[in-house]
Amino acid sequence: MTKLNRIIKSGFINFKRGGVISWAAVLVTTITLSVITAIILLQAVLHFSLDQIKNKVDVTIYFNVGVQEEQIMALKQSIEKLPEVANVSYTSANNALQAFRDRHENDYPTIQALDELGNNPLGAYLNIKAKDVSQYEGIANYLKSDDALALNSDSIIDKVDYSQNKLVIDRLDSIISGAQKLGFLITLILIIISMIITFNTIRLTIFISKEEIGVMRLVGASKTRVRGPFMVEGAIYGIISTIITMILFWPATAWLGTHMTSFLGINMYDYFFANFFQIFFLILLSGVLLGIVSAFFATRRYLNK
């Protein structure tokens, strides 16, 4: 414990001795952590928007007019057993007709033509929602398989609108995958840049303290004793940068929550404080690791000379 206390104390002395250089490293780390926080918030907006779109994507099976409800329910039960399926809703022919009338209530010619028919020209349909956007193709393939045909689905189904929705589904799946990869890539690049700058800052600190380090090595100080204070200094960069980052995002998310909620679709202020501790610990962990790893490699290179 005595050695640990000395290492921590030396780390704070190094930080204080660094002066402007130390605060420059804090500034660079703060910029990196701010971008990481911004990416976290943008990911929340993106996922919210994509979830809204996902809820509107589905596959609908339209049945021929006059098909018995028992046949439709048998097919419904078989579809519900598929692991890809989240929900299957049934709309009867009468409900489909009423919904059609409601949608065209101001279209007099259409309603008049419907009344002149004297009977219901619409069939029942099933609306299928998958657990994931990429799973709709598997559901569509099942409807073409022998298991579905064994239920005489081929003779009772009028059409399945998967082919019309396939382009939208594929694009949505591509957007989700691309957005995740882009966010990861940007974060990785910024972390590497910050590590390089922090690495060089700590090397400069080592250069300033080279005589002291030389004396420590001459009297037999271990590499851990020499490296420790600089790793503590790197952790200090991360801790201070995390606090500054969270303080900066407090008014920023408040402004976004007041002025941009309708545009973003989500109240960023509410999201920020609802997930404050998760974001704080994630940013703190990123900042501390960034400083410690940078210090480790900087001192390793120096100590191996």
Are residue 75 and residue 198 in the same domain, yes or no? no
pLDDT tens per residue across all 305 residues of the chain: 777 787 778 777 777 777 787 788 788 888 888 888 888 888 788 777 777 776 777 788 888 888 888 888 888 888 888 888 888 899 988 888 888 888 877 877 877 877 777 788 888 888 888 887 778 878 878 877 765 655 666 678 888 777 666 676 677 667 767 777 877 787 778 777 766 776 777 677 667 666 666 677 677 767 777 778 888 888 888 899 999 999 999 888 888 888 777 777 778 888 888 889 999 998 999 888 888 887 777 777 656 65
Are residue 179 and residue 41 in the same domain, yes or no? yes
* Rounded Cα–Cα distance for residues 224 and 305 (Å): 16
Tell me, what CATH number does 91's domain have?
A: 3.30.70.3040
Residue 70 sits in which domain range? 57-165
The total number of structural domains that make up the chain: 2
Give the pLDDT of residue 301. 62
Q: Name the domain boundary from 136, 165, 194.
A: 165
261-289: string of b/e by CB count within 10 Å (b at 16+)?
eeebebbbbebbeeeeeebeebbbebbbe
Are residue 176 and residue 83 in the same domain, yes or no? no
Exposure of 130 by Cβ count < 10 A (0-12 exposed, 13-18 middle, 19+ buried)?
Answer: buried
Are residue 259 and residue 273 in the same domain, yes or no? yes
